[in-house]
Structure formats: C-alpha cells, structure tokens
Structure 1
C-alpha cells in the first residue's frame, strides 16, 4: 500500500497570473498548502479557488515583493496559519518594453526593485525560517535573458542577470556551510502569459514573447520538478533557452548582430498598441476591470504545449547512461564484424 505524502507548505510570489498561477495549480494537484502572493486581489482570489478545487489548501496575501518588511510579515502569517514553509518559489516581476534611453530612471529602479530585489527579499524571508530548521527549497524562476540580453528589455535583462549572480553566490555559501537548505533556478523561454498586455510599453505595436514560445504549463511543470529535485543548480526549459545560452557562450558577438537585426521586430505583433493601455509597473492592473486574466496570454493559437528539451534537461543523467550504453554496444558490434 502506497503511503500518501504529507502536504508541503509552498509559497509562490506572482501567483495571480502566468507561470506563478500555473504553478499554483500543479502544487494544488499534489495536495499541497499553497500561499499565493501578488499585488492584485482579483487574480489571487481566482487562483485560490483553483487551488481549493484541485485539492490544495490556499492562503492569499496581497503584497508587493519589493517591500521587504511587508514580505517578512507575509512569511510570518504563512507560518502562523499554514505551518513551516517547505518550498518558496520566487516569480513576481514587472518590466518596461522600450529602448533604454526612453526609460525613466524611476521606472528602471522600479523594475529592478520588483524583478531583482523582490527575489532577494523573498529568498531572505525563506532563509530566515529555513536555515534554523536546516531544510527547505527555494526555486528562482529565471529566464534565458539572465544569460543573454536582448533589445527593448534592458531593465528586465539586467534584473535577471543580477538574479543569476545572486543565485550562484548564495548557492556557494549554502554548500560551504553544508546546509540542507537547497536553492535552484529554472531558466524560462518566452511564455504565453498576460504580461504582454500588462507591462509598461512604449512600443508602437503590441508586445509579444520572442517566438517560438511556450504555454505557462510547460514552465510550471519545470517549477514543480525543480522543487522536488533541487540538487541541480539550474534547469533549462525549451530548446530556444538552450540554444540561446549555448550560442551566447560560443558566439556572443554574432548573436549581438543577429539580435540587432531581428530582436526589435520579433517582440512586436502587427497590432498597434492602444495609447491608453494600462500598465502594472506602479499599480496592479489585475482585476481593475473586474476580469481575472488567468495564466494564459492572448497567444494560445501559437504557443507550444510541450518541451522535449525540458524532459531531456531533467533526465540528462539517464540519457547520458543510455548514450554510453549504446556507444558501447556499437563498439562491441563493430569489433565482432571487423
């Protein structure tokens, strides 16, 4: 008889939409207690209903992750109402689509505070509680753009690069101390989330993820896997992520020129951006019109629902053993037929 595992206490920032929302659903299916953190209330309440319907136990907290005091208070409430935190997923972010010279210093600072320092604040809140217990997992939802900058997203790329450096530094400290608290990162490709109608933009046309892009459930499955297998320092999701990171390592200059030619147009659709389009840089737009935007963006007809590369990234050891076995078998066969 298989014993049912105990539910985990899972915290997800940016849980009202996109990858955070899709991840909450998967943790709920595992029967976990899920603390849902975000600025917008409508999406949080909808996410809580989904978690409850799928068998999880939700707690919603409206909080700005850029406010470290508020995030500490949120963590205190989570542990008081749900119990000791087992998994903390950092996912909240914001951005500005524009040339660097068109972005105000205050806007650049705001993106950095949410997209980078929000991860730092969440990690600190988690570690403060996990280290004394010597257990717990922190998952940083990263991006291919943590390793390769692209045009029109300088504040986001800068924040994600900073997150990766922070992640590596923290990882080495925890290993030096032989801590059983584990931290891992998941590098995401372009994902079909509502962000492309939420983030501030000065582009003439509507923003879109760089094609080809994936459904948020692909990203969420990677987050769930990373939380259960945090021994790896990082996971890559999507063939485009792997190709981007590897290409930048071996031919960064060529990639500079390629992105200079294609990076601006590939991030815009053929639809003009409305002048009055709302942006979530300073205030949440989630639910402003009484509508829950959910996990998906407007590109369902173009988004990829599965990633063979993701499976390969998660099972690379088994693939390596298989490859060696096949190579050995071929070598033996070659000797016999020689």
Structure 2
C-alpha cells in the first residue's frame, strides 16, 4: 500500500472514502482514483461481481477495500452500511453519492412503479446516503459529501424523465443542506459535481424501451474524467459546485440564457441522439443487479471507447478556478497599468 500523500492526516493511511454505485462506471473509476492516493475505500452497490472486481482494482491501485452489498433505496440498509464502514475503518472522511437507476423511454411508457424505483434509487438513495454520512461526520465536525450530479440536474432532456427529475431533486436538496451546514458553522462540507455524457456500461444495462440501443449524447467523455473531478471535489469541498466537460458548461449556459430554444432543439435532436442501431438491452438493472449470479463484471468503461475523450482544457479550468481568477486579476491589473501609462504619455505629449 502506498504511503499517505500531502493533505492526509498524519499517522493515517489516507482518508476513509465511501463510494456508492461502486461496482461499475463512474463509481468504479472514482474508487480506483481514491485508491491511487492510498485511501481506504468502502465500495457500496448491489452487484457482487462488480464489487469483487472493484475491490481487486482498489487493492492493486494501492488502497484498501471494504465491500458492502446494499440497495441505496433502503434507508436502514444504508445506515447499517455506514456503520459497517465506521466499525471497520474508525470513521468516514468522504462520502460519494453516485448510485443511480434509469429508464430510457418516453414518459408515457414508463410505469408508475418504474418511475418510483428510479426516484428511490437516484434521489432518495442520495438523501439516505447523505443522512448516514452526516451521522458520522457531524459529531467529528469534519468530512465532505460529494453529490455526483449531471448537466441534467439543470437541463431535462427527452426519454429520461425519471432520471432528470431525480437529478433536479438532488440539486435542490443539496442546496438546502448546504445552507443549513453554513448556518450552524459546521466544518462538514457538501459539494456537487455536474458531469457530461460518459462512456460507462449504463447504456447496456439500463431499462430501454427505445427502438435502438441507448447511448450517451455526444460528445462523450471517459469515466476517468469524472473520477478526477470527484477526487478533487472531495478535497475542496468549500466549492459549492463543479462543472465538468465543455458540453456541460455549454448546456448549462444555454439553458440559463435561451431555455426555450434548447427545448425546441432537443425536441428535434434528442430522440435520435440517444440511440444507436441494434437491439435494446432488455430489463437492465432496475430491479436486480446487471451482474447477477450468472452475470459479468462490466467494469468502468462502456462500448464507446473509440469516440470518448479523456479530458480537455475545461477540466483543468474547473479544478483551477482560483488560479484562473488570480491570473485574470493580474492580466486586468496589467491592462489598467498599461492604459494608465498610455494616458500619461498622451498628456505629456499635449
């Protein structure tokens, strides 16, 4: 196991980090990224095959893994899982809410039970996870809760009404909680990371009633881009929010400025942009894990490696907003100084 890095508490083997939805996709990539720091990582999910694979990757990356099988829609089970982590590692430093479920279909083709299940996993799972984390963080007056969000927390798109509704709900819940923590002067932090479309296996296990195979709206980013942002946010919880990916920035700005235009654009393009040729993937993992007893370990990546990008300038900009602000101030001061010198020269000439 690697030794502690700068910022870790002395005498400890890195931080204690809980990642929900850790069996695949973004959660899997984030668990690896935390482990590379030497952190102890608790892996929470339903799928046993994926959890076993994630634990092996955490250990090979230099971390220590604890596997906890749990359905995030079950509040008591989530509380028990948090207690299991605290019993094993002594405390919880970081809690990453990432687990979700989804249905790709027009709203009128989603049953009430399916809509409820997506909401319970994707929204209430974050609520239950946050509550469990705070029970262990507030008495110590330290810790960070990272809510893994999406551009869809601000901008709904067609064919994902339940998921978009849940992400919007997380946004409002997190803002309310943040205000309460600030009011009480707590050193416990909560922050949200808004992600772009990602190359994860979700598009092969989501419940899909579309004519074709579900896919992310291009441009597509690798899950490691999200993982780096989540790890950074965990160490910089004072920031209320991080926007990851140029497409996220463009979408959120467009939605703030011309939401009606975006409505019409998505009405025209949103159906085709979320489908590929091929047969849909059946019932997916809404009710049971995709990597069941006879399933497989899906890992972090989906089937879009050939088109997915591994980062870009916006990723650096999101993590270094303070440096950019300082750099902008220097440039502005330089421009003002230059302008003043020019004015003085003109006056001297006159």
The TM-score normalised by the length of structure 1 is 0.96
Which 5+ residue runs of structure 2 have no aligned equivalent?
none
1:203-222 to structure 2, matched below 5 A, reads 203-222=210-229
- Which SS does the other structure have where 1:184 is aligned? strand
CA contact (8 A) 1:144 1:187 kept: yes
What is residue 302 of structure 2 aligned with on the other side? 297
1:278 is displaced (CA, Å) by: 4.3
1:318 is displaced (CA, Å) by: 1.4
Q: Deviations over 1:2-59 (max 9, x none)?
A: 9753311110000000110000001101111100000000000010001111111100
What is residue 254 of structure 2 aligned with on the other side? 247
What is residue 111 of structure 2 aligned with on the other side? 104
CA distance in 2, matches of 1:46, 1:82: 21
1:237 aligns with 2:237: no
1:154 aligns with 2:161: yes
What is residue 283 of structure 1 aligned with on the other side? 288
- Which SS does the other structure have where 1:283 is aligned? coil
CA-based RMSD:
1.4
- Which SS does the other structure have where 1:263 is aligned? helix
1:277 is displaced (CA, Å) by: 3.0
Q: Deviations over 1:228-282 (max 9, x none)?
A: 000001000001111111111111111111111111111111x2224x6341000
1:141 aligns with 2:148: yes
1:318 aligns with 2:323: yes
1:314 is displaced (CA, Å) by: 1.8
Residue of 275, 287, 290 corresponding to 1:268: 275
What is residue 14 of structure 1 aligned with on the other side? 21
CA contact (8 A) 1:278 1:285 kept: no
CA contact (8 A) 1:194 1:295 kept: yes
1:289 is displaced (CA, Å) by: 4.1
CA contact (8 A) 1:43 1:287 kept: no
CA contact (8 A) 2:4 2:37 kept: no
What is residue 79 of structure 2 aligned with on the other side? 72
Residue of 32, 35, 51 corresponding to 2:42: 35
What is residue 46 of structure 1 aligned with on the other side? 53
CA distance in 2, matches of 1:299, 1:245: 24
Q: Where has structure 1 moved over 6 Å in runs of 4 or more?
A: none
1:287 is displaced (CA, Å) by: 4.7
Equivalent pairs, count: 335
CA distance in 2, matches of 1:255, 1:223: 28
Which 5+ residue runs of structure 1 have no aligned equivalent?
none
- Which SS does the other structure have where 1:264 is aligned? helix
CA distance in 1, matches of 2:117, 2:193: 23
Residue of 303, 307, 316 corresponding to 2:312: 307
1:335 is displaced (CA, Å) by: 4.3
The structure with the largest alpha-carbon Rg is 2
Q: Deviations over 1:35-87 (max 9, x none)?
A: 00000000000100011111111000110000001111111111111220110
The TM-score normalised by the length of structure 2 is 0.93
CA distance in 2, matches of 1:105, 1:95: 13
- Which SS does the other structure have where 1:296 is aligned? coil
CA contact (8 A) 1:218 1:307 kept: no
- Which SS does the other structure have where 1:258 is aligned? helix
- Which SS does the other structure have where 1:306 is aligned? coil
